[in-house]
Structure 1
Amino acid sequence: MNETTVLLTLASVHFVALMSPGPDFALVVQSAGRHGRRTGVFIALGLSLGILLHALFSLTGVSFLIQQHPLWFLCIKLAGGSYLLWLGVGALKYVMRHWRQRHSLGAAPVAAAAGSASASAGRALVKGFTTNILNPKALVFFVSLMSSLVPVSMSTQGKLMALLIIWGLSLGWFAALAWLLTSQRLQQRLNRARLGIDAVCGGIFTLLGGAIVLQSLTMALT
């Protein structure tokens, strides 16, 4: 395949992967619903930078070395699983706290408390970046994607273009998702369903994080 075909194939596969529900998708939905458009966009930027770094590490062989070194890969999986678990437990605690408040004080105080919650741009960016870069499945995905689609003989310009495409698609998709979710009409619906969204996202993070940690500990003990 010529470089143009390689880049088009890479863009297509990556875009399909972006649309697949996962921790990144759930984080954008949760953050945009709870904190609003600005936070959602910075979450998207952080996620896209994490994806860019994964792609860069895969192209340079760093991710492959990590994957082939059992101890390093185990540490990445434990860190990533623990972080997702921490996010999930935190979201579920948030849901329980406001659920109890709603049933003891009524719905108005809950809405005020949820509406007053805000995250700084820096914290949102770091949260998005950390969620993606510590995801061991993302590391494995990009090693597979780059090794199968990007030939070693590809020019430096072509590889740089591949990185730009991956980053641009990632930022565009997650930022568009955050923007769409915080439109006036959808924001009203999200406000009504905020605790439900947090409960679902918290459950996703907890299950994924717990599964990764359990799998990692099992591997370490065998």
Structure 2
Amino acid sequence: MLPNLLLFLAASLAVTIAPGPDNVQVLARAMSQGRAAGVAAALGFASGCVFHTTLAVVGIAAVLRASPMAFDAIKLAGAAYLMWLGVQALRSRGGLSVGGPGGSGAPVSRWRIFRQSVLANMMNPKVTLFFLVFLPQFVNPWLGHPDGQMAILGAVFAVQTAVVFGAIAWGAGYVGEWLQRRPGAAVWLDRLAGVVFLLLALRIVWSS
């Protein structure tokens, strides 16, 4: 399985590094809320991969693929959640307030950011379908136990996602710290994060 695993890791890194909703959200979090918030978001999105792997292994993803209505319902729910995060960010007053209650400017706990990121990832049915198509391509039929192999591949994908997204958060955190020292920059960072969340929500709504 080792050659397949190395090829899978290379392909996974290419997919994770490519600009997408998840890593863009990590970037926005780190710049507007700080490096720790970005890392929390990175770990949240990586943990969401475990959920999608489970769905792919047990076959629920195939049901989603066969039911456009169920797919659209989950997709719209995810878009609505991102819109809510965007509105909260636009209403904030700066100072690590994205997603805070009522946009009051109160700092958001890292645990809450983690949970928000997990939920945002879980409510993206495209990721589930991606795992359903992507993981089996690297299963070695000679080894047997395809479900077990898919579970291992999903765990590898989650770990490399945490590493790549964590690196993005760490780098973006330096930019955010530099901007936070500028008067009024914190407010505009939150505004930027809000716009990013809203654009991602619209992208999900209008995508096929």
* Counterpart amino acid of residue 206 in structure 1: L
Deviation string 1:150-201 (CA, Å, 9 cap, x unpaired) is 3566544533431221111011112222223334xx3432424545544444
Counterpart for residue 138 of structure 1: 127
Query: Is the Cα–Cα contact under 8 Å of residues 82 and 210 in structure 1 kept in the other structure?
Result: no
Counterpart for residue 10 of structure 1: 8
Offset of residue 33 of structure 1: 2.2
Deviation string 1:123-160 (CA, Å, 9 cap, x unpaired) is 11111101211123322322221243335665445334
Alignment of 1:97-176 (within 5 A): 98=93, 117-150=106-139, 154-156=143-145, 158-176=149-167
Counterpart for residue 45 of structure 1: 43
Deviation string 1:104-124 (CA, Å, 9 cap, x unpaired) is xxxxxx66989x742213211
Deviation string 1:39-79 (CA, Å, 9 cap, x unpaired) is 22221211111012112222332212222122221211111
Counterpart for residue 74 of structure 1: 72
If you compute each CA radius of gyration, which structure gives the higher value, 1 or 2?
1
Provide the TM-score with structure 1 as the length reference. Answer: 0.74
Aligned-residue identity in percent: 29
CA distance in 1, matches of 2:76, 2:111: 25
Moved more, 25-34 or 85-94: 85-94
Give the direction of change, closer, same or farther, for the CA distance of 1:120–1:188 in structure 2 (3 Å limit).
closer
Provide the aligned length of Structure 1 versus Structure 2: 197
Structure with the larger helix share:
1
Q: Highest relative contact order (Cα 8 Å, sep 6+), 1 or 2? A: 1
